[in-house]
Amino acid sequence: MPATRTWLKNPLAIFTANALDARGGLVVADGVIEQVLGLGEQPAQPCDQVFDAREHVLLPGLINTHHHFYQTLTRAWAPVVNEPLFPWLKTLYPVWARLTPEKLAVASKVALAELLLSGCTTAADHHYLFPEGLENAIDVQVEAVRELGMRAMLTRGSMTLGEKDGGLPPQQTVQQGEVILEDSQRLIERYHQRGDGAQIQIALAPCSPFSVTPEIMRASADMAERLDVRLHTHLAETLDEEDFCLQRFGLRTVDYLDSVGWLGPRTWLAHGIHFNPDEIARLGQHGTGICHCPSSNMRLASGICPTLDLVAAGAPVGIGVDGSASNDGSNMILEVRQAMYLQRLRYGADKITPQLVLGWATKGSAALLGRKDVGELAVGKQSDLALFKLDELRFSGSHDPLSALLLCGADRADRVMVGGKWRVVDGQIEGLDVRQLIADHRQAAAELIAG
């Protein structure tokens, strides 16, 4: 059966994440971009469908490179609203330890739906909680991703350093190393897809220096090398973490990362705030990526990621919304806006442009996940697209459409395509009963807090 060929014609504005002239739009077929059209150009072959994009700003699907889906159940919880990271975690860990498969399923679906509605087509989640009864947490997340029709890098997280051994997590949330490694290999063999167009991928993600032992860090690095998957963890998020590493290991965070075999292009790190110039240079030399999480860093008063210094050194930078208990939202286009404003405080308005931060959220984020088939608009790339309208009151009087997307605060995509299939149409997710999802999620959140 011949492929359906669709022309997304003459968008109001288009961001390609490269230097291509695409003012005439895109032709997509068989889930990939077949042709990029300059202004006034026509498709090389007849198209079965024409979508008039003259009212839309067209972007590559946004790519979220750090999240904790389960945390949608503990948004804006009063006891931690004004806490920094370590007290915030210590208060929330016992609550999260009560997570069940059913609650994780609804939490994941809410996070993914919110991301999708904000123009996100690929999401990385860092799940590290496997209390009794939740041993198959990643399997639960796989089903949620498939139901929403998105792409995901699901990371098999872990915690092995409990309170009795000097870590932060309560004992009921830690696992033995052999259990973690056995399940990690199972998940990779069962779900990890390779090559262009992959929907589900698996990475290995010991949680953080203060919640895992060096042994599981080394073993995870060895497995990732052997099975050719990526590595992810939190690093250099707060000064408390830096002090912890100095006291426990006698090393700063990047030295610790190096000591366990993680300093390399296979690794991407969440936050990456507290690096000195030498550490930035080393990260760049090794091609280790950094996910900037501006809302979370502001909410917890953790600091500001040195993005331009990292990029200049050779370290790829992407963007993540982080968990919905330290951001309290899962909105990717608003996260891009937040990144632009926070980074302007550090580097100045002239250096941090809308195009730059959109590039971090697309091509930059794709690089963190090791993907070359998504994150930009070019021939042969996956047809993962986000289309935004500027017809609301907040955009009235705006002049440059691409800048208006961020400066005027776009928060919802009108249409989203993943692999050539429309997943969001007229601002609604195809086939999803959002009202019922909200009702189920609110009940699950109340039950989790109540214990």
Coil vs helix vs strand at 257: helix
Q: What is the mean pLDDT of residues 122-141?
A: 97
Starting from the edge strand earliest in sequence, which strands make up the sheet with 267-271, in order?
62-64, 120-127, 151-158, 200-206, 231-235, 267-271, 289-292, 317-319
Using the predicted structure, report yes or no on whether residue 95 has a pLDDT greater than 90: yes
The whole-chain average pLDDT of the chain stands at 97
CB 418 within 8 A of CB 61: yes
Is 90 exceeded by the pLDDT of residue 22?
A: yes
Domains of the chain: 5-60+381-429 (2.30.40.10), 62-368 (3.20.20.140)
Per-residue pLDDT band for 1 (boundaries 50, 70, 90) equals: low
Residue percentage of the chain with pLDDT more than 70: 100
Q: Kindly tell me if the per-residue pLDDT of 255 is higher than 90.
A: yes
Encoded tokens for 282:
């080393």
Residue that the structure tokens 């249409």 belong to = 415
Q: Give the pLDDT confidence score for residue 128 in this predicted structure.
A: 97
Per residue in 404-430, pLDDT tens? 999 999 999 999 999 999 999 999 999
Angle at 361 between CA 359 and CA 365, to 5 degrees: 100
pLDDT of residue 61: 99
Token output for 224: 């990732």
Q: How confident is the model over 346-373, as a mean pLDDT?
A: 98
- pLDDT, average across residues 49-71: 98
Confidence of residue 62 (pLDDT cuts 50, 70, 90): very high
Residue-wise pLDDT for 157-196, tens only, equals: 999 999 998 988 988 889 999 999 999 999 999 999 999 9
Q: Which residues pair with 386 in a beta bridge?
A: 59, 416
Q: Which residue has the higher pLDDT, 19 or 365?
A: 365
For the segment 305-314, what is each residue's pLDDT rounded down to a tens digit? 999 999 999 9
> At 325, is the pLDDT very low, low, confident or very high (cuts 50, 70, 90)?
confident
pTM of the model: 0.98
